[in-house]
Amino acid sequence: MAPDLERLLADAPYSGTELAVRSGVSRSTRHRILTGEVDPRLGTLRELAIAAGYDLELSFVPLSDPDAAWAARTLIDRTFLVEPTAGVEQWVSRLRRIVPDGDALRIARAAGEASALLRRPGTLFRAGRVAESDLAAAAELVDGRWAASGSAVLQRLDPDAAIAGPIILYTDDPVGFAELLPELRSCEPEAAALVIAPYAEELGIDTRTDGALRLVAPVQGLIDAFGVGGALGAAAAAVAGRW
């Protein structure tokens, strides 16, 4: 929010003092809002927008916040030694409220539901026969980082189980990756055999290679599976219960 607000105010044809007078929001308060030091009320944001010649429109969108996954790993994954951002710290607090007893399985499930890839902007969904060797070959042809999650991770955590649900492929170039698999067809999220999602730096922590694939950390695989839900979510619960 702050970067957009900062651009809006910077483009306004008013000085900082004039914006303070027009909005009723002091320059010091405005600075703390823009730097993330304070969490402003909606009324304050609207006054700032009106002062700059705009208005504030609030809408609700499906929840898919990757910070929820990083927060869960901060709480339950000892390998995840990352300095938390403000957004991650907020999710740490939320998860502690949602799961007050600190149960790791419930934290992973709550974080998965909050970071669900099926609702993530920029994610692509493909149906058809998916071979791990084909995914690895395509991933190596695309510039950037990549790692697999979802059923690919769960199957290795429980080799004797028949894991149903999609493979998740994180990549720096989802569109370019999808173009290398023309035999797969676009589909609705719930019908996907392959979920292609934007890569994030945090995914590189505790990755490993097994067979043809580079895999995310087991905890991340469980979180992602809970986010997909359905058969894959049920498999995640079963695997975690025996893990």
Same-domain pairing of 47 and 126: no
Q: What is the pLDDT of residue 201?
A: 96
Let me know if residue 72 belongs to a domain.
Answer: no
Is 153 within the bounds of a domain?
yes
Residues whose CB falls within 8 Å of the CB of residue 41, separated by 6 or more in sequence, listed in order: none
Report if residue 87 sits inside a domain: no
Structural domains in the chain (count): 2
Same domain, yes or no: 235 and 125: yes
**Which residues on neighbouring strands pair with residue 80, listed in sequence order?**
none
Residue range 148-157: average pLDDT? 97
96: which 2 tokens?
């502690």
By the 8 A CB rule, do 51 and 10 touch? Answer: no
Distances (CA, A) of 171 to 81, 115, 122, 148, 198: 22, 17, 11, 9, 5
Could you tell me if residue 103 is inside a domain? Answer: no
Chain length of the chain: 243
- pLDDT value at position 35? 87
140 and 234 in a single domain? The answer is yes
Look at residue 74 and tell me whether its pLDDT is greater than 80: yes
pLDDT band at 36 (very low <50, low <70, confident <90, very high): confident
Indicate whether 213 and 123 sit together in one domain. yes
Model-level pTM? 0.85
Structural domain including 172 reads 118-242
- Amino acid residing at 85: T
Q: Are residues 152 and 42 in the same domain?
A: no
- Render the burial of 207-223: b for 16+ CB within 10 Å, e for the rest: beeeebbbbbbbbbbbb
Q: Distance of CA 141 to CAs 128, 132, 172, 196, Å?
A: 21, 14, 12, 15
pLDDT in tens, 98-113: 999 999 999 999 999 9
Note whether residue 204 is domain-resident.
Answer: yes
